Structure 1
Amino acid sequence: MADNEDVLARRVEEACLNGWPALKTIWLDGWLLRFSHGHTRRANSISLLWPGTRQPSEQISSAEAFYSHHGLPTIFRLSSVSSQDIGSALDEAGYGPGEDETCVLYRDLDAAPSQGERGAAFVRPNLDDAWFGAHARLQKFSAATAAHARALFGAVALPTGYAMSPASDGSPAALAFGAVHDGIVCINAVATDPTFRRQGHAHNAVSALLAWARDDQGAKGACLPVVAGNDAGRSLYRSLAFSTEISRYSYRRKVA
C-alpha cells in the first residue's frame, strides 16, 4: 500500500471506530478492547492498532481475562490496516477461523449523489423515537438488546445524522446512520423494510446522508463496511460510487 493510501486507510479506520463506538473500552498495550453488552461484534471485539511490547500469547491471555470479567466471548477483529499479524498465536490459543470477511469501502464527496427521485429522504441530527423504533423493529431487537443499542447510539461523540426515506404513506421505508470524523462520514445501520425493497429507498437514505455530511459538516470523504459476500449491499454501494476498497477485516473467536 502506497504511503498516501496507508494514511487514508488509517484515517478511515479511525472514522469507523469512532463512528460505531463501544460503551466501554480498555487500552491494552496497543490493542483496543471494546465492550457493549454483546451488541454487535464491532463494539465487543479487539482491534490491534499497533504492536505492543508483550508476546502475543501473553497479550491474548490478558485480553481474555477482561472479556471473561464482562461475561463476553473474546473476539478479535483482524484488519488489513493492522501492522501486527497474530494469526499463528490465535491458532495456538484455540481460536476458530475467520468469520464474515468485511470490506471497508470509500469514496470522495466531490460529487455526492442527489437524494434521488423516489420520495424525500431527510436527515435529522439527533436520535428520535421514530427512527430508533423503526431500527429496532427492522433488526427484531428484544427489549434488552434495544436498550443496549440505544445506549450505543448515545455514545457517539461525533456529529451525527439519522436518515430516513419514507414510503408514500409516510412510514419508514429505509434508514441509515452516519457520523463525521476528521472529514470522513462513516455510514452504518443501513436497513430497508422488506415491504419496500427494490424501490430505491436505501439509495435515497444513504444519498441524503452523503449530501448532509458534505454540505452541512464539510466532509470530504465517506466510508462504510459491507460483508464481502453481501452482493445486494455491494451493488447498492457501487451505485453510490463507493468504488474503492480501502481495507478488509474479519473476526476470530475463541472456540469453546
Structure 2
Amino acid sequence: MPAPLLARRVEEACLAGWPALTEILFDGWLLRFSRGHTRRANSISLLAPSTEDIAGKVGRCEALYARQGLPTIFRLSTLGTDPVDAVLDERGYGPREDEAVVLHRDLAPAIGGSDAGRARIEEGPSRAWLDALARIQGLGDDAKAANDAIFAAIAVPAGFAASLSAHGDIAAVAFGAVHRGIVCINAVATDPAFRRRGHARAAVVAILDWARSTAGAGGACLPVMAGNDAARGLYEALGFRTEVSRYAYRRQR
C-alpha cells in the first residue's frame, strides 16, 4: 500500500478506535469533545486544508471549547494540513508536549507462539474489564464514567483482551478496534503488581490474533509515547516497526 494511503487509513483507524462523545467537522478540522477525559478525545485534528482564515478559525474553535468548559487543545500531526503554529504562538499556546509515534505492522503471518491463548478476549467490555482498566490507570469517578462512555461509543468491531494472573486476577488489559481492515490498539495497561511477566504482550497478541482471524484485519497500528522505551521495545518485538506519523499537543494557556 502506498505510504500516503496507508497513513490516511491508519489515521482513520485511530480516530474510529478512540471516538469522542461529540464531534464537529469544521472546514477540514475535526473538533472532539468528551468531558475533558483524554486529550485525544478532546482536541482538534487537522484533517484537510482550510478554506477560511486560520487565525479567525482558531478563535471560533476556542469559543466552542469554552462553551464546554474545556481548554482548546490542538493535536498536531505530521499528517496535518495547515501551518497553525505561528497563530498558536501569537495566542499564547504552550509548546508542543508529549510527542507520540504511530506505528504499523502487517498481520500476515499470525504471531501465535507461546503467547497464543494466554489472554481471554471478548467483543465488548465487561464490567470487570472496565473496572480493571480504571483501577490500573487510577481513574476517579468522573474520569471512569467518561471512559465507560467512550467505550460505549465505539461503532466499529472491537475486541477487549485481559491477561489473567495465576489466581485469576486481571493482570493486564488491551483493546483493539477495526476500521477498513486495520486494527488500532489502545489502552494497553498492566497492573504494577504483575509487570515484567509478559501479560501486556499476551493481551496485545490476543488482540492481533482476534483482529486477523475474526475481524478480517490485514494490518495493525498503535500510538506510543516517543520517549517510552520499554513500550516501544515491546511493540517492536511484536513487529511494529513502520513509523506512519507522529503527533504532539499544544494547549491553550
Match of 1:235? 233
Task: For residue 118 of structure 1, report the CA deviation from its aligned partner.
Answer: 8.7
Checking the alignment, whether the CA contact within 8 Å between 1:119 and 1:168 is kept in structure 2 is: no
Does the CA-based 8 Å contact 2:115-2:205 persist in structure 1?
no
Displacement over 4 Å in runs of 4+: none
The residue that corresponds to 1:79 in the other structure is 77
Residue 239 of structure 1: how far off its partner (Å): 1.1
Contact in 2 for aligned 1:119/1:167 (Cα 8 Å): no
Aligned residue pairs, count:
253
- Counterpart contact for 2:116–2:205, Cα < 8 Å: no
In the aligned structure 2, how far is the partner of 1:109 from the partner of 1:57?
42
TM-score (norm 2): 0.98
Number of the residue aligned with 2:164: 166
Distance 1:141 1:185, change over 3 A: same
1:216 aligns to what? 214
Deviations 1:150-169 (A, max 9, x none): 00000000001000110110
Cα deviation digits, residues 199-246 of structure 1 (max 9, x gap): 111000000000000000110000000010011110110111100010
Structure 1 gap segments, 5+ residues each? none
Aligned residue in 1 for 2:62: 64
The separation in 2 between residues aligned to 1:180 and 1:172, in whole angstroms, is 24
Alignment match of 1:153 (pick from 151, 154, 158): 151
Give the Å deviation of 1:117: 4.3
CA distance in 2, matches of 1:121, 1:235: 20
The structural deviation recorded for 1:127 is 1.1
- SS of the aligned residue for 1:54 comes to coil
**Match of 2:104, as an amino acid?**
Y
Partner of 2:29: 31
The 1:33–1:117 alpha-carbon spacing in structure 2 relative to 1, beyond 3 Å, is closer
Alignment deviations for residues 92-143 of structure 1 (CA, whole Å, 9 cap, x no partner):
1111110100000000000231163497211100111110110010011111
Contact 1:22–1:34 (CA<8 Å) still a contact in 2? yes
Contact 2:93 2:252 in 1 (8 A): yes
What is the alpha-carbon distance in structure 2 between the residues aligned to residue 90 and residue 103 of structure 1? 22
Q: 1:139 aligns to what?
A: 137
1:120 aligns with 2:118: yes
Q: Which residue of 1 aligns with 2:182?
A: 184
Structure 2 gap ranges (5+): none
Q: C-alpha distance in 2, partners of 1:211/1:56?
A: 44
Structure 1 length-normalised TM = 0.96
RMSD: 1.2
Instruction: Specify which of 19, 22, 43 is matched with residue 20 of structure 2.
Output: 22
**In the aligned structure 2, how far is the partner of 1:192 from the partner of 1:226?**
15
CA distance in 1, matches of 2:164, 2:244: 31
